[in-house]
Amino acid sequence: MALQAGIVGLPNVGKSTLFNAVSNSAKAQASNYRFCTIEPNVGLVNVPDERLNVLTTLVVPERIVPTQIEIVDIAGLVRGASKGEGLGNKFLANIREVDAIIHVIRCFEDENILRDEGAINPVGDKEIIDTELQLKDLDSVEKQLQKKEKQAKTDSKIKVEVEILQRCKAHLEQGKSIRSLELSKEDKAVVADLFLLTDKPVLYVANVDEPSMHTGNKFSEALKEAVKNEAAEVIIMNNSIEAQISEMEDPDDKALFMDEYKMKEPALDRLIRSAYQLLGLNTYFTAGVQEVRAWTFHNGWKAPQCAGVIHTDFEKGFIKAEVIAYNDFVKYKSEAGARDAGKLRIEGKEYLVKDGDIMHFRFNV
C-alpha cells in the first residue's frame, strides 16, 4: 500500500533536513540555496508502534516487519508558482501525486539562512503556499466548469455537477481551501478526477530553534492560531536535532543525546504516527514464531479487504478470520492463552477490522 505524504514548504525552511531525518532508505541533499531539491526524493519510513515491540517480546519471532509509509521531499515552492515561477509547474505536478501534505514552516530566526520573503512570518509563509495551491485548483475547476456547462445544455443530469463545481469555484475565490468546504461523498466524486491540491489533508511542522523545541515560541504560537479552524495538527520540532538523532546507530548514544535535550522520544516518531493517521490508516498484526508483522489498512475496511493487503488471493478466497484483540493477546501472553480464555473470535466477511487486531486468515483459492 504505497500511500505517500509529501513534505512541502518555501525554500530553506528545513524540508530536506526533515526528510533526511525521517527516511530510512534515502538521503536528500540539504543545502542553503534555492531549489536545492529539484527531483522529489522518496523514502520508505517505518511507522513507530510500541505494540509491535510488545508482541515481539511475547512471541519471540525470527523476524519483525513494521508497517511503512512513503515520504516524498518536494522542491520548495515560491510566490507565483501557480503561474510557473521557480519550479512552479513541476512542484504542483509532484504535490498532486501525494495523498497528504506535511507542510514545513520556518519558525526561527537565523541571518545565515537565506530567506526571500523578508522577516520571519510563519503565517505569511503558510498563506503563500495556500494561495498558490488555491490558484492552481481554481484554474482546474474553471476549466472543468466550462466543459460541463457546455454539456449541461444537452444533458440535464450534468447540471448537478455544474452546481458542485460552481460551489468549489466560489470557495476558492474566497481564498479558502477545498478541504474546508462541506461536500458529501457524492459531491466529492464529481471533482475526484481533478485531484485538487487543497483537498489533501495537511499536517504542519513548526521548525523551531533549540531553545523552543519543547515549549514553542511566538512564531509557532502564531501558526497554531492561524490554523486553529482547520482541524489540523501542528508539531513543534527542531529538524536539525532530529536529523542528528536519526543518524545515530548506537542506542546508548541516542539515549544519552536525547536525555541531554530532555526528550522522551524523537519528535519524528510523533510526526510519522500523525502522518499515518492523517492518511486515514490503521494497523493490524500477524504474530507467529516465524514473523511478527504490522499491516496497513484503511479506516472502515472489512476483513476480506484487510486479507487482500497480504495477498490478493486471500481476499478472493476469504473464508473467515481468526481475531484476537491486542489487549487480550497481551493479557493472556499468547494466541494459545487467548484461545483458552475464549478471547479468540471467528469473524466473517462483514467484520470491520479494528486497529491493533491480531489476525489469522482462512482462505481457499
Longest CA pairwise span in the chain (Å): 71
Which pLDDT tens digit goes with each residue over 308-317?
A: 999 999 999 9
State how far the Cα of 262 lies from the Cα of 258, in Å rounded to an integer.
6
pLDDT: which is higher, 86 or 328: 328
Which pLDDT tens digit goes with each residue over 116-161?
A: 666 889 999 999 889 988 998 999 999 999 999 999 888 878 999 9
78-82 long-range Cβ contacts below 8 angstroms, 24+ apart = 78/10, 78/11, 78/34, 78/116, 78/128, 79/117, 79/128, 79/132, 80/132, 81/132, 81/136, 82/131, 82/132, 82/133, 82/135, 82/136, 82/139
The domain 129-198 having CATH identifier 1.10.150.300: the answer here is yes
* Confidence category of residue 34, pLDDT binned at 50, 70, 90: very low
Of how many residues is the chain composed?
A: 365
Residues whose CB is less than 8 angstroms from the CB of residue 61 and which lie 6 or more positions away in sequence, other chains included: 287, 288, 289, 290, 291, 292
> Mean pLDDT in the chain?
87
Residue ranges at the known binding site: 12-17
pLDDT: which is higher, 88 or 65: 65
Residue type, 237: M
90-97 long-range Cβ contacts below 8 angstroms, 24+ apart = 90/38, 91/8, 92/132, 92/133, 92/136, 92/197, 94/6, 94/40, 95/6, 95/8, 95/133, 95/197, 95/200, 96/195, 96/197, 97/4, 97/6, 97/72
- Sketch the domain layout of the chain as residue ranges: 4-117+200-277, 129-198, 300-363
Residues of the chain above pLDDT 70, percent: 88
pLDDT: which is higher, 356 or 31: 356
What pLDDT score does 89 carry? 54
What pLDDT score does 284 carry? 98
What pLDDT score does 207 carry? 96
Please give the torsion angle defined by the CA atoms of residues 204, 208, 212 and 213, in that order, rounded to the nearest 10 degrees: 70
CB 345 within 8 A of CB 323: yes
Q: Which CATH number fits domain 300-363: 2.40.110.10, 3.40.50.300, 3.30.1300.10, 3.10.20.30?
A: 3.10.20.30
Residue ranges at the known binding site for ATP: 12-17
Q: Which CATH number fits domain 4-117+200-277: 3.40.50.20, 3.50.30.30, 3.90.550.10, 3.40.50.300?
A: 3.40.50.300
What pLDDT score does 78 carry? 56
What pLDDT score does 114 carry? 60
Which pLDDT tens digit goes with each residue over 41-83?
A: 788 888 999 999 999 999 999 999 999 888 888 766 655 545 6
Chain mean position to CA 193: 21
CB 74 within 8 A of CB 7: yes
